[in-house]
Chain A
Amino acid sequence: MSTDRGIAAPPSGASARLVDRGDWRRFVAPAVVVVAAGGILLAGGLTTAAFLTVDNFLIIVRAASITGIVALGMTFVTISGNFFSLSVEQTAALSSIAFAESFAHGWGLLAALGCSFCAALVTGAVQGGMVAAGLNPIVTTLGVGAALYGLAAVVTNNEVVNFDTTPAVTWIGTGRPLGIPTQSWAFAIFTLLATLVLLRTRFGRETYLVGANRNAARASGISITRTTILAFTLASLAAGIAGVFTAAQITQAPLTQFSGLNIDVIAAVLVGGTALQGGEGSALRSALGAVFIALLANFMLLRDFTYGERTLVTGLIVVVATSAFHLLRTRGTR
């Protein structure tokens, strides 16, 4: 099925099958994630005293928020049938540097936000344009990521950019309205927004159709180019937002601050069960995936797992989850 197209071909859905909305299988992936998260909560509560505390939950929620916000953006790329982007961590770093540099130059908050979001929008639109022209999304974003990293290092002389914070920036970075971190508010709001966009807007429905069946989408007059560019722009914008939040939180922009974000975000989207061949998935699933990955990471951290052990477990879960979801999907249509 999907292998018939080779890696370069934009997947046009599992043999032109459109998503059957009444299919019970589409509830399996989210249900598995919820059950697994419940299992971790149970295991954590029974074995680790520090796990089921309010403080620890705030830590988990904040950790999930940054990954989650970017995963929401990546969901558009994945649903539109373009697998995933390997440049979101570099985009986030570039945006945080743009934010910090603006402040270091004495510009105001609005100019700083404008600069960082512009940087993200441009990189996203360019990548979307290249992929829409027929280039492989993974290899394109791999190259763009390396170039962006080099560019950011050249601009900053590979040094950490520090800036003097203002009350507004402090609030963005560390504020806690109603006791919940601003990042988590943003994560919740963006989950809602992304869900609404995917289900209730024309662009959202076009994204599903382009991912499910590229040719049918083209035949019905949908612009594949526009949908692809918008999807990559949203992913980049989400990375930019993550970059701004992080820069505001730590009042500096180290180049390597986001290293590992690409992998975390892809893991969140894959574990959430958004179909990698496109056309199927939801913002809520990616959000759930991000929370699951954060829960798991936090649990393993409290159980004194090393970095290597945590990465190994996460990787194995990604392999098993994607294989299982893939089998679930293809068995139903064979």
Chain B
Amino acid sequence: MPPPVPDETELSNIHRVLAGDASAFRSVVLKYGDRVLSFCRSRAASEEEAEDLAQETFLRAFRSLGSYRLGTSFAAWLFAIAANRVRTRWARLSFDKRKKDRLKIEAGAARANDPEDEALRNLQAEAIRSAAAGLPADLRSAVELYYFAELSVAECAAVLGVGEEAVKSRLFRARKKLRIALESSNPNGSEGV
């Protein structure tokens, strides 16, 4: 199944931007902002860095909009840019800094002043990101695009340059590993079943 193509409103916004109406790009950011942020958080060392990456992604997308091929999935095109931004930034950071920043996030989540359920959700989100980070590279990419960026299987296939069956296979294998990792990470309490 081919990736879904943009609807008429989205196409209209893209045409307006290409015609010189930069303000129309705001609708594009609003539509994909949450998903791009979620995707960037999967590799970012902090919330600030995730937002920086998301901004860079949209700025790059704006500049490169002329290369988007109408009639294909805009989401797949956009997240290919996001993946490259994340990969570039990730490579620049030293392992030590990533580890240090990651510990800072975990500590922050643990002592959050938010209501208890929100703190729990933060811890769960961190556990999910950590579990995904422990996956082999091919499985991790599929999980990040599917679960964090919320792309369809077809869009994941487009971004990764593989077939849909390969994406499904990666997600299947990833879920098995994620379940083991998540059930043992126990950020939700100290008791077991």
Partners in one complex: no
A residues contacting B by CB (< 8 A) are none
